[in-house]
Amino acid sequence: MIFGDNREAVIKNIKKAANERNFTAKVEIGDPQMSLDQRLKLVNDYWNKRNTFSSKLNNRIGHLLFGTLSRALAGSTEFVGLENLNNLPIGGAILTSNHYNQVDSLPMKLLANKMHHQLSIVIEDTNLMLPGFFRYLMNYVGTIPLVQSPSYIGNEFPKHLSAALAKNNWVLIYPEQEMWWNYRKPRKLQRGAYYFAAKQNIPVISTFVEIKDLPKIEKKDPNFYETKYIVHVLPPIFPDVSLNANENAHKMMELDYRQKVAAYEKIYGKKLNYDFLDWDIAGWRGHLS
């Protein structure tokens, strides 16, 4: 599915970032630009209004919309490897996935539903200011905004994360950080998700999403085929009680990356190489010179 304009310009940004091995580069065009003070105020206002009547009402509506959208837009998603979750302990967990689409949380919502968990989603703070319908969803589907501020990450963020986990929610964190639209390859991961999992002594549910081209042309843009998603559920990753949080974070992050790379290579029959190929963008019929 295609959301957003300027897809070819975005693909050029992805090509440049991949070839430079800049795996956390922002590649989308037109993302909101805000100062740190503006972002902190935005997120503080978000948390302050959570207990108002209008916010509670909109949260109920938002969760209903999120469930409906999951079934409507991601209902054809296949799930492989669900047996890896058979012996998962009861309780909250961190869920990790590759970040390839503005609505790639929808298949994760379906996965959480299958396992009888609510889904909370960690988002970049500026996503609260996305245009139109996306802004509504970001504000009212149980998101936990993250501000790149040491004081917020050290104090406020863990408090909200703990509150979600205490409800036995799965918390979706994208350790690749930035979204690279329809990018097939797993990127290098950042340690934050694994540090919080270690601090909370909870498992990481590791997934890798395969994006499959369909023979049908997209209605919105003839330069793309429609695509389908297959969620590969990989073995969960548990903290090692003999290690401290920092050591655990690095160990869990490396294991998750290895699992995602192995899944990619098995699924697509290709050795992972970050030199950009047009094939890297799922569904694309075009070509970059």
The domain spanning residue 230 has which CATH number? 3.40.1130
Instruction: Assess if residue 289 is contained within a domain.
Output: no
**Mean pLDDT, rounded, for 132-156:** 90
Could you read off the pLDDT of 211-232 as tens digits, one per residue?
999 999 988 788 899 999 999 9
Confidence check: pLDDT of 10 > 90: yes
- Statement: residue 2 has pLDDT above 80: no
pLDDT of residue 77: 94
Of 27-36, 98-107, 140-149, the poorest mean pLDDT is in: 27-36
Query: What average pLDDT is seen over the chain?
Result: 93
In a domain? residue 2:
no
- Let me know if residue 1 belongs to a domain: no
Please check whether residue 287 lies inside any domain of the structure. no
- Cα→Cα distances 160→66, 163, 244, Å: 20, 5, 22
Per-residue pLDDT at 4: 66
For a pLDDT cut of 70, what percent of the chain falls above it?
Answer: 98
50-62: average pLDDT: 89
- Please compute the mean of the pLDDT values over residues 280-288 and round it to a whole number: 90
6 pLDDT higher than 80: yes
Report pLDDT for 190. Answer: 96
Give the pLDDT confidence score for residue 188 in this predicted structure. Answer: 97
The count of domains in the chain is 1
Whether residue 34 lies inside any domain: the answer is yes
Query: Does residue 286 sit within a domain?
Result: no
| Enclosing domain of residue 12 | 7-280
Residue 134 lies in a domain: yes
